[in-house]
Structure 1
Amino acid sequence: MNLGELAEKIQAKLIGDASLDVSRLATLREADNQAISFFHNQKYLAELSQTQAAAVIVREADVSSCPCASLVVKDPYFAYAQLAALFAYQPERTGIDRSASIGDACEIANSVFIGPNVVIGREVKLAAGVIIEAGAVIEDSADIGEGSHIKTNAVIAHHVKLGARVIVHQGAVIGSDGFGNAMHEGRWHKVPQIGSVIVGDDVEIGANTTIDRGTLGNTIIGHGVRLDNLIQIGHNVEIGDHTAIAACSAVAGSVKIGKYCLFGGAVGIAGHLSITDGVILTARAEVSNDIKEKGIYSSGTALLPNTAWRKCVARLRKLDESVRKLNRIAKKVED
């Protein structure tokens, strides 16, 4: 594909030879004269000036620093994402593999692909363009929307509903039982989880992430949500549209999360809390109270050398005693 064609696809202004062919995407450092790269972070300005790429996607302000052809756009990272979709691996997938097991009374569109050893329960609905990769399990009465992609060994439990263009990565489980147990006469008794999970359109769910079904009502994942790998979403959680949560985070049951929130890795949120729209939680934040105002929130301490950290902990243990002493001194001064 030549630069002129690529510029047209991402609506870029091309500065350079439109007939120049490229065959791949690469980082600024690794690119050669057959590759196209992108620049959107001033931290990599030195790499931009030294790149061997055939062309680089840049903002107008950075054209003068680019030593090769430039594809000029307002948002280089978004333009890169558009090109990545063109260059990404797209295996040919057609039909239903002979080893797949399909239950009775299913509604499966003609354009659906079902891979080897897939198990599909009864009364499942698979809309046009759905892809079910090898070893995935789709349980009874699940409903998967148009163009959705269920990857290898993922599980969509019974009565779960996925919207259009949902991507569920390898090993994820959508609709497992919530953590419901009743203590009675010295023993735990399981509380059946009779709700479900409703996932909106254009959602992406990372590998080995689990989303529990509701106890009575449903667990709800809004449109455009992004969930990274290894995330736990508890029963009856509601996540607003276009919120993104990074890996290893855990959200306890019945939490309500607003729209356009951004949570860093390993965030922990206690149960039955409410978080308003537009909240940013930095990595390893621990949320134990409602968040009612938009903003950036953090908790914990940043990394320190071990000796400095131990001193801080020792002083922290004495903090209450020190405050009491200061209060006594202040009272004497006032008297």
Structure 2
Amino acid sequence: MKLKTVISLAICIGAFSAFANYSFNKNLTLTFGRLPTSHGAPRHFSMNESRKGNYPILSFGGNWDGMALSYGIAAGQAVKLVYTPVSSIPFDGQLTDGLTDKDGEAVDVNVPSYALIYEMEKSNFASANNFYFTLTYYSIKDMPTLPSTGATGSNLYLTLQRTSLYTELTGIAGSHFDVYAHAVSTKADSEGEIIQTKGGWLTDKDSDSVSGSAYGLGVRYSLAPNMKLGVEYFAGGENAFLYDSSSQDPANIYTTYGTGYHLFYSHDFEGGFKMVVGHTTKNSEYGRYVFNLIGATSEIDNTETNGYAKFIASF
């Protein structure tokens, strides 16, 4: 067993978002720009923030530009159709013109992706102060995978389907307890291979279809309106397609192939200041050569613990 311990300190100032809404009427709204596809639920639990319009982490998990059309079908219910073009970035992170595959054919790095989202929210639902539920279907077809800028050696393409749900109950039975659950089912169709790795997405074969799943649970207790203590658990299956490209946080447990635990405490101060401290343990049971997503699956026994403290100022 390999044990790794990390202690991190982060100072965050402000936040960034860049999307606009245009309402055709009270039921139909168009959103365009940098969509709220990152830092979604359940991240707000540990940060002691209200749940914003961000899509749940297991539905997107990245910074996507595009547009979304939302229609209110009933009180507290809506459906959304989301279009987000995806750029396939080479492994060295640089984009240039004239990229080719291993056969010398030009590669279009921009491919469309789509999502269909259903949302429902109700106050004073059953024995809870508030209930929220969302179901998302996400699809991307034939995304090329490029080994490096201008280099040949890959004819690997990914077609991905992800179906995810997220739900939360706050103020259960008039208590100070909040709970949430989220889950995702994925199907990755991999065609071709990266020559250097001899494998494709979640497989060591040059043509394969792999399905998997993951889920998480969490509970939080309000010591006071500005003081929250909580714990969450995450279990990632061997063949699930898990990623969160928007997060560089080593304490992130939502891409763990195995089990992850997160204990957190948040404290809000006057003047827009906040402190969040926590501890995570990630028990990884499976690994792969590239991004932990490409190549043959290896069974591993790796435990990583992280302690962190975040000091946040919002203006």
| TM-score above 0.5 | no
Greater share of helix? 1
Q: Which bracket does the TM-score occupy, shorter chain normalised?
A: under 0.3
Greater share of strand? 2
RCO (CA 8 Å, sep 6+): is it higher in 1 or 2? 2
Greater C-alpha radius of gyration: 1
